[in-house]
């Protein structure tokens, strides 16, 4: 059976959007997924399923999460090969632009059309470099300070659709553990 990794968006950020990892694991298992594991308390879950489509897995997970939590939980699902490819690309970028103090990766539902990817990458500036590849948008700072502004801004972020972000380090660790 295929293995997938789900990355939940905007959970455990305040009092009303709580989804502790033990609850996440229980809800995922109750939805029929097997080999369920979680990493950290930020919405990272590994599952196996007979489903052959990341879109179907996303839909099944989101439906189960909304039913259990009472609020929508957007979830980006990647296969292990795609996750490994994103992590490998993050390593290439870090070698080209590093050493980096901060490297965020926004995961998106669908690869961006070329024109949208160019607009997103145009958000690069003297403090941050933005690179788009497949279903990942990398934001890299050589020198980061607390309070740095999101380089994409609201208008550019809308081009991405549904996203969730992790540090490159978290994605690397998830791939190492589950890949």
Q: Residue 160's pLDDT is what?
A: 95
Domain ranges for the chain: 3-79, 81-178
Q: Residue 144's pLDDT is what?
A: 85
Cα separation, 86 vs 89, in Å, equals 5
| Closest among 68, 65, 91 to 77, alpha carbons compared | 65
Q: For 16-25, what is the mean pLDDT?
A: 94
| CA atoms within 13 Å, Cβ hemisphere of 47 | 31
Q: What is the dihedral of CA 58, 63, 66, 68, to 10 degrees?
A: -120
Asked if residue 141 lies in contact with residue 100, where contact means CB atoms within 8 angstroms, the answer is: yes
The CATH homologous superfamily of the domain defined by 3-79: SP0830-like domains (3.30.70.1280)
111-125 residue pLDDT tens? 999 999 999 999 999
What are the structure tokens assigned to 68, written together? Answer: 């259990």
- Judge whether residue 109 has pLDDT over 90: yes
**Mean residue pLDDT across the chain:** 95
């Amino acid at each position: 059976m295929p293995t997938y990794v789900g990355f939940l968006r905007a959970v455990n950020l305040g009092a009303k959007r709580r989804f502790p990892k033990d609850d996440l694991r229980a809800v995922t298992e109750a939805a029929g997924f097997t080999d369920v594991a979680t990493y950290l308390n930020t919405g990272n879950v590994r599952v196996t399923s007979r489903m052959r489509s990341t879109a179907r897995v996303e839909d099944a997970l989101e439906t189960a999460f909304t039913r259990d939590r009472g609020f929508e939980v957007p979830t980006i699902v990647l296969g292990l090969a795609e996750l490994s490819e994103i992590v490998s690309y993050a390593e290439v970028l870090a070698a080209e632009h590093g050493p980096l103090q901060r490297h965020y990766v926004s995961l998106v539902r669908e690869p961006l059309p070329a024109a949208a990817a160019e607009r997103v990458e145009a958000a690069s500036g003297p403090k941050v470099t933005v690179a788009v590849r497949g279903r990942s948008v990398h934001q890299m700072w050589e020198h980061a300070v607390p309070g740095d502004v999101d380089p994409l801004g609201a208008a550019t972020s809308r081009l991405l659709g549904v996203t969730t972000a992790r540090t490159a380090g978290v994605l690397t660790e998830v791939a190492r553990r589950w890949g």
